[in-house]
Amino acid sequence: MTMTTTFWTRFVLCCIVTVFAGLVLSPGAQAKPNILFIAIDDLNDWVGPLKGHPQVQTPYMDRLAARGTVFTNAHCQAPICNPSRTSLMTGLRPSTTGVYALFPWFRDVGQLKDLVTLPQYLAQHGYRTYTTGKIYHAMSGRNYKEFDVIGPPASVGPLPPRKLVDTPQPHPLVDWGVFPHRDEEKGDWKVATWAADQLKKGMPEPFFLSAGFFLPHVPLYATQKWFDLYPEETLQLPPMRRDDREDTPHFSWFLHWRLPEPRLKFLEEANQWKNIVRSYLASVSFVDSQVGRVLDALEAGGHADNTIVVLWSDHGWHLGEKLITGKNTLWDRSARVPLIFAGPGVSQGAVSGRPAELLDMYPTLLEAAGLPAKGGLDGHSLMPQLKDAGAPREWPAITTQNHDNHGIRSERWRFIQYADGSEELYDMKTDPNEWKNLAGDASYDQVLREHRRWIPKVNAKPAPGSAIRFLTYKDGKVNWEGEDIGPNDPIPEI
């Protein structure tokens, strides 16, 4: 073989190798991206990227948002843990499954037991799946194959000898305040530690790692250093109006009729309003620090460049707005949640005001991973908005609480229709606090019609076992946990 021939042979081989390598490493041919799935319980829009509270400090969520896309108009499918998490993990609405309440675990419902959830679908397509903390509300301790590897469960951590606050209903979890313990003893610290250890030690790719943090779910216990971020003398309380409930239907009270979370009236009389707000903010900052530990481990483990991170909360939480505390409502404070994506294929530093739903995560992650779309899901992929935050979106966000109560959130409006037919309408552009109900104003009839058409056409009967904290309405009567309530019954001051 001559020198010239050798040269051209090597040249051709080099070109072939280069082309082949380009095909392998091109975006369309890359290995499937990993997925880091971070859940935070009861977290409303009091985070830096959503600006829900002017004083909140969440530097790690801020950092995640800066390298990804934030949805400022994202909403849960149900303002309570079990139906919200069931919905987003199955990709089906509560009105589709009939899971509206704290129970049942959906695998215990005959027609739902074989549903293929997000982690199961990913596992079918080559992903190794891991979980720690609270992702589902409960897996009932049964041997369902939800994940390949399971780490520490969610837990409150150390508790004081007795409750710090004597609330009207002595529920053991409804408590808050400074409690001197070590941060390392908290359940969320252990969840972050386990997740970080997996990321650092070298996980087989592609992986799906879900980490679910408990706080700021009650009890809102935090150590003094987190309270020091929010001095009482400069603390800003959330905006509220004393007459806020005068133009809301009586039926709106039924959604949280006798729940253990106290009313604003108690907080003021017991001088606890500032304390609970500080406790919530302190808990948010603590859990943000745990999110930071996981994100730091993602980088330290060398996975950051090929991992899609999605951070979300299952629903929001009232802290005096609408004269209540807690969740279980169809207003923005209870339905609006953080939703942040970052990683390959996601625009950086972008903010989308398009309506988004938690159950959109299922189809979004499948598309982002280059997997076949799964039929029968109720949500829609957010990839158009992850590429271009201003991309149009046809669908509003729909939140359902109990049977036949729905909230429809478009870009400008929040519409609510209760089981008895009563309604609310708010212009979120001019009235972000939802203080003026426009539903009775004839000049908004067209807006009402446009939003009514999104009410789910399927409203499945409550799944068997839906007895705890559950409300039904039939033949003009409200039934709360087996007790009939009349339309003029007084509202319990809890």
Does 15 qualify as catalytic in the annotation? no
| Mean confidence (pLDDT) of the chain | 92
Report the pLDDT averaged over residues 126-155: 86
pLDDT of 258 reads 84
DSSP type of residue 55: T
Whether the CA torsion 300, 305, 308, 309 is positive or negative: it is positive
pLDDT of 5 reads 47
Among the residue ranges 18-27, 87-96, 273-282, the one predicted with the least confidence is 18-27
CA-to-CA dists, residue 1 to 4, 5, 8, 84, 330, angstroms? 8, 6, 11, 71, 80
Report the pLDDT averaged over residues 117-121: 97
Report whether pLDDT(7) > 70. no
CB burial readout 265-275, b (16+ within 10 A) else e: ebbeeeebbeb
pLDDT tens sequence across 192-235 = 999 999 999 888 999 999 999 999 999 999 999 999 999 999 99
pLDDT tens sequence across 244-258 = 999 999 999 999 888
pLDDT tens sequence across 251-309 = 999 998 888 999 999 999 999 999 999 999 999 999 999 999 999 999 999 999 999 99
- Catalytic pick from 81, 256, 315, 451? 81
Backbone φ/ψ region at 259: left (φ over 0), alpha (ψ -120 to 50), beta: beta
Cβ-Cβ contacts under 8 Å for 23 (sequence gap 6 or more): 29
- Radius of gyration from C-alpha coordinates of the chain: 24
Report whether pLDDT(154) > 50. yes
Report the pLDDT averaged over residues 365-393: 98
Report whether pLDDT(313) > 80. yes
Among the residue ranges 281-290, 440-449, 467-476, the one predicted with the least confidence is 467-476
Report whether pLDDT(439) > 80. yes
Higher pLDDT, 30 or 217: 217
- Catalytic pick from 53, 75, 76, 137? 137
Domains and CATH numbers, the chain: 32-485 (3.40.720.10)
Report the first-to-last Cα separation within the chain, whole angstroms.
94
Report whether pLDDT(390) > 50. yes
Higher pLDDT, 172 or 470: 172
97: closest CA among 88, 106, 89? 106
Report the pLDDT averaged over residues 166-170: 93
Among the residue ranges 129-143, 222-236, 381-395, 405-419, the one predicted with the least confidence is 129-143
The pTM score is 0.93
pLDDT of 468 reads 58
Report the pLDDT averaged over residues 450-462: 96
Report whether pLDDT(26) > 70. no
pLDDT of 473 reads 84
pLDDT band at 30 (very low <50, low <70, confident <90, very high): low
pLDDT of 485 reads 82
Report the pLDDT averaged over residues 158-170: 95
What is the largest distance, in Å, between two alpha-carbon atoms of the chain? Answer: 102
pLDDT band at 14 (very low <50, low <70, confident <90, very high): very low
Count the neighbouring beta carbons within 10 Å of the beta carbon of residue 238. Answer: 17
Higher pLDDT, 1 or 207: 207
pLDDT band at 357 (very low <50, low <70, confident <90, very high): very high
Burial of residue 235 (number of CB atoms within 10 Å: 0-12, 13-18, 19+): middle
pLDDT of 305 reads 95
Does 451 qualify as catalytic in the annotation? no
CA atoms of 89 and 76, how far apart (whole Å): 12
pLDDT of 19 reads 38
